[in-house]
Amino acid sequence: MAEQREELDIDRTGVELFAGGGGLAMAVQRAGFRPLLFNEVAKRACETLALNGEKPLPVDVEAEEAKADEAEKGGYLWIPGPGERPPLAIGDIKMIKFSYLEGKVDVLAGGPPCQPFSLGGVAKGDEDKRNMFPEMFRAIREMKPKAVICENVRGLLRPSFKPYFEYILRELELPFEKRDNNVLWQEHDAVLRGKLADGTTDPSRRYQVVVTQVNAADYGVPQIRHRIIIVAFRADLNVDLEAFQRRVQPTHSEAALYRSMVDGTYWERHKVPEDVRKRVMARVPSSPSTADDLQPWRTLRDAIRGIDENEGKPLPPIPAKYLDREERNLGGVTDHIGWPGARIYPGHTPNELDRPAKTVKAGVHGVPGGESVMILDDGTHRYMTVRETARVMTFPDTWRLEGPRGEQMRQLGNAVPVRLGEIFAKAVAETLREAEGSI
């Protein structure tokens, strides 16, 4: 069995759509999936992808489509072999044909943009054209991947959106039941409900779907970040869904952080001034819960000190005189640049060093005002640097982000924390391996 499993692991493959700054793409690769294709439309994010990791080769989708003969449309993308650089399809996903990848993809990953729908709009079937879930379903139909990983905002679960979200999940279960352009989603949903009820759909054309609500802090990410992760397995693989769910259980807790503060292990690690310790401990329960045996939440202070591959590489402080936008290569890392003008004001409380960071947000011009401000041990405050923000997104210091500060912060705010994505991608890999090893 061991030899069989080793053979099964030789060449796992993946495709990353809506790749952004590369968080989920990096996670999927770390889980052992060799990339066959990346897709992204944002210029700066594409530059970041081309600079890092597998260094995919950029392909301008629109330009290639324009010059290709009708018979060769889509032929400009290729299937890279092991050790070869994959293509980076730059441009609108609607222009990409995925049929050349049919049967060759183990996992399709991505976070499809799903802009808010008004209740009235959804009720009328007047859906936002920026909703990219239909393109994700088309990619599934054309590739037939073994598994799918989607990350998205928790807002999909809000009551006003719930009926449409449940429809999205049924579409993912039956992606080959294509919806015609002139059919309302409610009408298509009725068809899907009927197909699921009669249970006659070919298992190779049906997916088993698991939705997990997560707080990234519960998985060792030094950030409070509430999201949903949708994972689907092709039904003919007969995977053990319960085993998958066990593999993605939380590993860290707030109570464990409090316990580490009460027993002193947290403070021993950080050697903070006594007055800071007392100030923080005044807000910590004197008898924190012992109901779990999980690891402590990681804090912003932990991230700055260095965790995972950044372990033992503390970022140097930013002196007040360096809050001037000037690159000084402090600590030998990039993008650790002081930025002026930080303010604390109502509705925008700062990040605290001894808590996980607040949710990193993209915003229209990068991370919005107070959301990226941190308060220091001496009571002063400043903006977090791009590198500090990357660390709370669990990006390694070796990962370069292209563009000016606002663009870099936008890429981080739109990304999946690498550690969170890796836990789910590894769980998918192990669940597939287990299923295929039992055949």
Residues known to be catalytic: 114
Give 100-157 as a DSSP string.
GGTT--SEEEE--------HHHHHTT---TT--HHHHHHHHHHH--SEEEEEEEGGGG
Query: Do 101 and 17 form a contact (C-beta atoms < 8 A)?
Result: no
Helix 162-173 to helix 133-143 angle, to the nearest 10 degrees?
10
**Cβ neighbour number for residue 157 with a 10 Å cutoff:** 14
Comparing C-alpha atoms, which of 49, 170, 183 is closest to residue 127?
183
Q: Give the Cα separation of 229 and 154 in Å (integer).
A: 9
Residues, the chain, total? Answer: 439
Quickly tell me which residue has 């860290």 as its tokens: 252
Alpha carbons within 13 A on the beta-carbon side of 232? 28
Alpha carbons within 13 A on the beta-carbon side of 290? 4
80: three-class secondary structure by DSSP: coil
225: three-class secondary structure by DSSP: coil
What b/e readout covers 195-215, taking b as 16+ CB neighbours within 10 angstroms? beeeeeeeeeebbbbbbeebb
Q: Give the Cα separation of 427 and 439 in Å (integer).
A: 19
Q: Give the Cα separation of 48 and 50 in Å (integer).
A: 5
What backbone phi and psi angles, to 5 degrees, belong to 210? Answer: -125, 125
Quickly tell me which residue has 């959106």 as its tokens: 161
Query: Do 229 and 149 form a contact (C-beta atoms < 8 A)?
Result: yes
What Cα–Cα distance (Å) separates residue 197 from each residue in 17, 137, 190, 301?
31, 21, 11, 51
Q: Give the Cα separation of 134 and 127 in Å (integer).
A: 11
